[in-house]
Amino acid sequence: MRSQIYRTASRTVKSLLSASRSSPLLCEGRTAAVATLTTFRGRIPTVTSFHERAQYKSSQSGWLSAALTLPAAAYMLHDQEAHAAELERTFIAIKPDGVQRGLISEIISRFERKGFKLVAIKLVVPSKDFAQRHYHDLKERPFFNGLCDFLSSGPVLAMVWEGEGVIKYGRKLIGATDPQKSEPGTIRGDLAVVVGRNIIHGSDGPETAKDEIALWFEPRELVSYTSNAEKWIYGAN
């Protein structure tokens, strides 16, 4: 009897989750379900992006009551989705030199193979003004003008990557600013020679990650999804 209730409840939650996947109008419900699962497990709901937070807030009450009627299912289901909602995001860009040298797939594959998840990507030619906004914290440096000229000189591959510790570890994958000092095995260490052509940018902390993602992407360009590999990438024994 108990297991039958669980199966029925489980199917109901599953179908609600999959319906929300197929309809953008329902994605609000899915985010709320994720937040609800986190609540139900006795943890503080941590929903990372601001638009997810807004969605959670606007639809919280309806889903909370639904979850109360589906306790076992809500407890068991989609653990990885609850986890995914807590993961951090960073802004990574392949600069014009990396794009022109045909290093896009090489760089993406390093982040992908590590286990990080791509949640936004686009090829853009930034204006000089945009480049100046991106590098605003370097405006007093002598190379600022040349740096902004260079960033706006051709296509840049702008991306957002998601994963546990992705901001700090993304910087490790990238290597030191000056490729002469980057360790072999890092992107700059393996693929670049001088600081003025170091092929890639990565946010250097949580605040810059948030600001840079907001500068380069509209919230609707960030795609929240569960990757099949997540249950093999995350877990504790």
Verify binding: residue 195, ligand IDP, rule CB under 6 A.
yes
CB atoms within 10 A of CB 160: 25
Distance CA 223, CA 230 (A): 15
Verify binding: residue 232, ligand IDP, rule CB under 6 A.
no
Nearest to 147 by CA among 126, 161, 132: 132
195 binding partner (options ligand IDP, Mg ion, none; Cβ < 5 to 8 Å by kind): ligand IDP
128 or 141: whose CB is closer to Mg ion? 141
143 binding partner (options ligand IDP, Mg ion, none; Cβ < 5 to 8 Å by kind): ligand IDP
Binding mask 145-184 for ligand IDP (x = CB under 6 A): --x-----------------------------x-------
| DSSP H/E element including 183 | none
C-beta of residue 88 within 8 angstroms of C-beta of residue 165 = yes
Q: Which residues of 180-201 are buried (b: 16+ CB within 10 A; e: fewer)?
A: eebeeebbbbebbeebebbbbb
Binding mask 198-217 for Mg ion (x = CB under 5 A): ------x-------------
Q: Is 78 a catalytic residue?
A: no
Residue nearest to ligand IDP (CB): 177
C-beta of residue 125 within 8 angstroms of C-beta of residue 233 = no
Minimum separation from the CB atom of position 153 to ligand IDP (A)? 13
Question: Which residue among the candidates 78, 83, 134, 201 is catalytic per the annotation?
Answer: 201
Verify binding: residue 8, ligand IDP, rule CB under 6 A.
no
- In the region spanning residues 112 to 131, those forming contacts with ligand IDP, defined by CB under 6 A, are none
| DSSP H/E element including 202 | strand 200-202
Distance CA 16, CA 13 (A): 5
Stretch that binds ligand IDP, among 14-22, 27-35, 196-204, 219-227 (CB under 6 A): 196-204
Cβ-Cβ contacts under 8 Å for 86 (sequence gap 6 or more): 38, 46, 47, 48
Which residues are tagged catalytic? 201
Q: Which residues bind ligand IDP (CB under 6 A)?
A: 138, 143, 147, 177, 195-196, 198, 201, 204
